[in-house]
Amino acid sequence: MKDKNELKSSEKFLEVKDLLLKRGDRVILDHVNVSLRKGETLVLMGLSGAGKSTLIRCIIGLLPATSGEIFINGAEIAHLKGRELDELRKHIGMVFQSPALFDSLTIMDNVAFGLRENTKTKESEIRKRVLEALDIVGLHGTENQYPSELSGGMQKRASIARAIVTNPELILYDEPTSGLDPIMSSVINDLVNDLKKKFNMTSIVVTHDLKSAKAIADKIILLHKGKFLLTGTFEEFDNSNDPVIRQFIDGDSKGPVKM
């Protein structure tokens, strides 16, 4: 990885080139292309089964592509092995749909987990960084509590604290607001925007929520059956005349997409 400071904001931070992913004969991702600059927020939308989570798993290096290339900060991830891939992953934070916290660990120990497991950071430094991360997500004072003592929205924020505590340059969120009430969804949206403002964080957010998309997206991709139907701004998306996109936006049961 290049040093963070070496990267100019005009440079591409993430580039997915002609990515093809097949499972047997089935095409899951059909020659897709993404390019994202440092500090941009990409929103990935699409119906269930469109391939959103699969694309995220490819980007984080969990799933090898059938063909195509993925560059993060100039490094092609398929060519990275062992320690190099571990090193790259340290620069990527992941927020899963379910908070996936360990019930038997305090919030401190949950958020500290990755730092303790994967780095040689001193315990005093770890505690300091966990408290900072909890502050950033608005969970000041919860470090000695257990996940079951927190609301769903707070657990989600704890999982975001866990993702940011390693100082990642890229955060991937897979449906971070699903199951949350509208107010808590707005809190999460604000957090994504705050991280961008404060740390020039690059984010990819999978969501079905048009309000979230409008609030956070620099760029939207609509993934449909493994292909990109549209890449553009929220306005371009919202004003599209494409019948599939219209059906998606209007949430219509009638239209070109049959369930």
Q: Which does 168 bind (CB under 5 to 8 A by kind): Mg ion, ligand ADP, none?
A: none
d(C-alpha 147, C-alpha 238), whole Å: 38
The residue among 43, 45, 75, 42 whose CA lies nearest residue 61 is 75
Q: Is 51 in the site for ligand ADP (CB under 6 A)?
A: yes
Shortest gap between Cβ of 87 and ligand ADP (angstroms)?
26
Q: Quick check: 41 binds ligand ADP (CB under 6 A)?
A: no
Minimum CB distance to Mg ion smaller for 52 or for 219: 52
99 binds, among Mg ion, ligand ADP, none (CB under 5 to 8 A by kind): none
Kindly state whether residue 53 participates in binding Mg ion, applying the rule CB under 5 A: yes
The reply on whether position 177 binds Mg ion by CB under 5 A is: no
Exactly one of 16, 28, 154, 165 binds ligand ADP (CB under 6 A); that residue is 28
> Of 28 and 34, which has the nearer Cβ to ligand ADP?
28
- Of 92 and 136, nearer to ligand ADP (C-beta) is 92
* 49 versus 152: smaller Cβ distance to ligand ADP: 49
Site for ligand ADP in 53-92 (CB under 6 A): 53-54
- Residue 49 interaction partner, one of ligand ADP, Mg ion, none, beta carbon < 5-8 Å per kind: ligand ADP
142 vs 177 by CB, closer to ligand ADP: 177
Q: What single string gives the DSSP state of each residue in the chain? A: ---GGG--TTSEEEEEEEEEEEETTEEEEEEEEEEEETT-EEEEE--TTSSHHHHHHHHTTSS--SEEEEEETTEEGGG--HHHHHHHHHTEEEE-SS----TTS-HHHHHHHHHHHH----HHHHHHHHHHHHHHTT-TT-TTS-GGGS-HHHHHHHHHHHHHTT--SEEEEESTTTTS-HHHHHHHHHHHHHHHHHH--EEEEE-S-HHHHHHH-SEEEEEETTEEEEEE-HHHHHT---HHHHHHHHT-SSSS---
Round to whole Å and give the CA distance between 54 and 44.
12
215 or 221: CB nearest ligand ADP: 221
- Nearest distance from residue 226's CB to ligand ADP, in Å? 7
Residues binding ligand ADP: what is the number (CB under 6 A)?
A: 10
Task: Give residues in contact with ligand ADP (CB under 6 A).
Answer: 23, 28, 46, 48-54
Chain residues binding Mg ion by CB under 5 A are 52-53
